[in-house]
Structure 1
Amino acid sequence: MALGWKLVIDSANASALADFWAAALEYEVEDPSALVERLLAAGRIDENAIVEHGGRRTFRGYAAIRHPEDPFDETSGVGRGRRLLFQDVPEGKSGKNRLHIDVHGEPGGLDALVARLEGLGATRVQEVDKGPAGRWWLMRDPEGNEFCAA
């Protein structure tokens, strides 16, 4: 049986980076506000553990996005399918990512995809042309994490 998984990405501002990647991938930002309220009411967490972002209460230093067609727990907002979790860490990015995301657009739509990603806050780094294998852009998200747009 295949195991469940999520990709965890270290960040400086989990909520902002989740917003970027949700828009870039056309995913949904998870809404844990009902879970936050239940934990606050039960005294399991205090106000220092939460932050308001996008008009809702969420966990400080954590944010997640999920594919809009995948199942999720309606009580907690946590996705049960394709999911990225962003967590704040104290240290900054220090080198090249060993794992990265490739974002694929429509056939023949690379220029439009790159322009859309730039509009969301991404930066072009280098165009790569592999002849018959195709062309793509090495890009960086707003926190400097490398990814490819193809």
Structure 2
Amino acid sequence: MAKEIQVTFDCADPGALAEFWAAALGYQVQGPPPGFATWPDALTAWGVPEDQWNSKSAIVDPDGKGSRIFFQRVPEGKTVKNRVHLDVRSAPGLEGDERLAALEAEAARLAPLGATKVEVREDMQSIFIVMQDPEGNEFCLD
């Protein structure tokens, strides 16, 4: 039987990175557990100090099909290239100029959210764009 997976990002600002990736992927920030109207209500009830409220966040696919993505605050900053990264499928089935135009449009949509375009690459007759999220994590528009 196949296992569900969760992708976890170590980061400095889980709330902000969750908001970025929710917008990038069409996900939503995971709401509080049943019985609580807001996360501050839940965290207060659980006795979590306010300075730790942004230590974790998660986003979920509103259709329930995609993997949950979890963000956890860590003390160290990012120092090297990611060994694992996300490919955001932004132009499936498209080729040539049409593919590049769709990828460039997605890069332009993500830039005001905090993404940075690194470069356009061509590999094995396919074009993709290397990007970075607001904390410098690499991902590709594919």
TM-score, L = length of structure 2: 0.81
Task: Detail structure 1 runs of 4+ shifted over 4 Å in the superposition.
Answer: none
Give, in whole Å, the separation in 2 of the partners of 1:39 and 1:14.
15
Cα shift at 1:130: 2.2
Instruction: Give the alignment partner of residue 57 of structure 2, picking from 63, 71, 78.
Output: 63
SS at match of 1:21: helix
Cα shift at 1:60: 3.0
CA displacement 1:87-138 (0-9 Å, x = unmatched): 0000000111011011121433111111111121100112101252x11111
1:136 has 2:121 as partner: no
SS at match of 1:114: helix
Q: Which residue of 2 aligns with 1:117?
A: 110
Cα shift at 1:46: 1.3
- Structure 1 gaps of 5+ residues are 52-58, 72-80
Amino acid at match of 1:84: I
Instruction: Give the alignment partner of residue 88 of structure 2, picking from 103, 111, 115.
Output: 103
Q: Which residue of 2 aligns with 1:19?
A: 19
- Structure 2 gaps of 5+ residues are none
Give, in whole Å, the separation in 1 of the partners of 2:138 and 2:111.
13
Q: Which residue of 2 aligns with 1:90?
A: 75
Give, in whole Å, the separation in 2 of the partners of 1:93 and 1:38.
30
Give, in whole Å, the separation in 2 of the partners of 1:38 and 1:128.
45
Give, in whole Å, the separation in 1 of the partners of 2:43 and 2:114.
34
Aligned length: 130
Distance of aligned partners of 1:13 and 1:38 in 2 relative to their CA distance in 1, 3 Å threshold = closer
Distance of aligned partners of 1:29 and 1:47 in 2 relative to their CA distance in 1, 3 Å threshold = same
RMSD between aligned alpha carbons? Answer: 2.2
Cα shift at 1:49: 5.2
Distance of aligned partners of 1:140 and 1:69 in 2 relative to their CA distance in 1, 3 Å threshold = same
SS at match of 1:23: helix
Cα shift at 1:4: 2.4
SS at match of 1:136: strand
Give, in whole Å, the separation in 2 of the partners of 1:24 and 1:147.
11
